Amino acid sequence: MSHEHLETTETGTDFDFKNDVLAAFKSQTGLTENTVRLISAEKDEPEWMLERRLSALEQFKQMPMPDDWPGQPDLSEIDLDEIVPYLRPDLETEDSVDSWDDLPEDIQDTFDRLGIPDAEKKALSGAGAQYESEVVYQNMKGRLEDKGVIFCDTDEAVQEYPDLVREHFMTECVPPSDNKFAALHGAVWSGGSFVYVPEGVTVEMPLQAYFRMNAEGMGQFEHKIIIAEPDSEVHLIEGCSAPHYGSHNLHSGCVEVFVKEGAHVQYSTVQNWSKNTYNLNTKRAIVEADGTMEWVSGSMGSKATMLYPASILKGPGATDNHVTIAMAGEGQNIDTGAKVYHTAPDTHSTIESKSIAKDGGRTNYRGLVHITDGAENSSTSVECDALMFDAESTSDTMPYMEIREDTVDVAHEATVGKIGDEDIFYLQNRGLDAEDAKQMIVAGFIEPLTEELPIEYAVELNRLIELEMDGSLG
């Protein structure tokens, strides 16, 4: 196949850099049946996956763009006819490489500057990195294999573990009919992470997946599946980034988590998309009896984000916890939240949301807690805190609770605050300048999230926020 060379240029911060993009395969722009067939053929997929892609495409065509939620981000500028849905970087071999040293230098440089090798060396037991649409570096320690743990990219899982993928891929958890962008994802998905943890196995160290979108005007549609068998435990950390461009990019990933009886899964995300990226993801977990699901997410960057991780508490005693932080600056609309469905007795959920708005940015918590009739002795607690830098910024809270059972415990609390001159003055009197004072206040505000992350990601999250805050005093 011919190689394409896509020109990019350097920009300001470490998280804005771009590399020249060498493409071994680049799909046409837009979304047609021919494009979907080409993607499937390029991956040498089984017929059943192609059929699912084509079915999702038909559903996508029939569904309207979401535009009926009050205060939601404006999606009218998304032109799917100009999006490149699939791009495979030029590698020396057709397969993902197993050694960091075997990667081409430009891709090494990309992940080096993002700190991925250092993070892996210091703390992580397994790592996968997705560059554009393909997983280019996959490393799994032998001790995981010895325990029967599977950690690979989802394309590989389709080939090597077809029965597991066929059973779980966009069936019960996130069907394409869920929303228009889930249908889009089902048609053109590529790459992602597949995790399978056998019964009774604990993965002691977090698994890491990093996704980098480097080409202008492309879409990234990685698919993640986590299957935690009974009494198992695993933590997957996802990092995402993209540099600045003149045209719009689209990120529309999907996460499906299956928490079996007594299992414990934590899914953590640190995202820093460029200011022209539309981040429209669907993430959902099904939690069986006495299972625990934890969502930890930090959303920075993007022109617009719509992200509401959801959990269905299907079995008695199931637990779900959400900790989220969102930060919006000038021209940004970050619409995030959480959804929890209590469908069994003695289920419990907590939602803790932190949002920061500055320079006229908009943050919004949009949440749903549904407790069905018969889910007796269930409990939920929702806490939403917003911090604003100026009078031009906006922060809203839109909690929605559907309680169909009487014997439940429900609590909701929301606060909105503004960084005041007296707070800055107090810290300045103790030797800090105004910027450092603000960053200290914000660091304290987001501490409930950072303390849930390994140190490398906590440091990165704080650094990203410092970069977002730079010059915010005016």
Residue 179 has pLDDT above 90, yes or no: yes
In sequence order, the β-bridge partners of residue 413 are 383
Length of the chain: 474
Q: From 187, 181, 151, select the one nearest 169 (Cα to Cα).
A: 187
| Per-residue model confidence (pLDDT) at position 442 | 75
Query: 210-219: per-residue pLDDT in tens?
Result: 655 554 445 6
Alpha-carbon radius of gyration of the chain: 22
Query: 345-389: per-residue pLDDT in tens?
Result: 999 999 999 888 888 889 999 999 999 999 999 999 999 988 888
Q: In percent, how much of the chain has pLDDT > 90? A: 39
CA distance 322 to 452: 11
Per DSSP bridges, beta strands 134-140 and 126-131 are antiparallel
| Per-residue model confidence (pLDDT) at position 164 | 97
Q: Give the residue-averaged pLDDT of 256-272.
A: 91
| Cβ atoms 217, 78 nearer than 8 A | no
* Mean pLDDT taken over the chain: 78
The long-range contacts involving 54-59, CB below 8 angstroms and separated by at least 24 positions, are: 54/187, 55/176, 55/186, 56/170, 56/176, 56/183, 56/184, 56/185, 56/186, 56/187, 57/31, 57/33, 57/183, 57/186, 57/187, 59/176, 59/177, 59/183, 59/186
For 5, 337, 361, 437, the CA distances from 325, given in Å and listed in that order, are 37, 9, 14, 20
pTM value?
0.81
CA distance 360 to 333: 10
